[in-house]
Copies of this chain bind each other. A is one copy, B any other.
Amino acid sequence: MTIMVQVKDGAGAMSHSKPDPAKVPGLTLEDISVGDRFSGGAIAVTVDTIKAFAREFDPQPFHTDEVAAKDSFFGGLAASGWHTAAMTMRLLAEFGPHVAGGLIGGSCEVAWPQPTRPGDVLHVECEILSVTPSRSKPERGTVLMRTETKNQRGEVLQVLTAKLVVPRRK
């Protein structure tokens, strides 16, 4: 699937520079529409960052040892899926929608179609799937956002569909 990227803050498509926060006031539910897209980022994944994360949070041989990884399901060193998820969050904090009050997810679905490898450079491409005011809490609503985390070859490493808590305009 090819996604045409439109960046709300006026930066170029596939922006890899940090947006100027002053240009991006906090978005409320009323500012977000189905089909809105956000993108950007360039996190370089290395053997060292893969191993450092894995030693702390996912100490399995295919994440910590190149030699052992060769004989594993992954056929070589691969980042923990949770490392890919954490790097995705880093990219979303910078390049995702600048929601008033912050980017807060209550739940999500995550899939890892292929492993993240040393040498990959990650960016995110986000699309708003739904915008739903809360029935019980008039001050907020839920935004469903799909985020693809891709490497420099456009290969999809992670698909995240997250329910974000977004305040309504006061």
A residues near B (Cβ < 8 Å) are 53, 56-62, 72-73, 80-83, 85-87, 89-90, 93, 101-112, 165
Contacts and interface: CB of A to CB of B under 8 A. Distances in A.
Counting every copy of the chain, the complex holds 2
Contact of A57 (B81, B87, B102, B112): B87
Contacts of A93: 58-60
A85 B160 CA distance: 14
A170 to B, nearest CB: 15
Q: Is the interface of A mostly helix, strand, loop or mixed?
A: mixed
Contact of A165 (B73, B104, B110): B73
A33 to B, nearest CB: 22
A106 B101 contact: no
Nearest to A86: B57
Given A80-B89, A82-B85, A82-B89, A102 B165 contact: no
A36 to B, nearest CB: 20
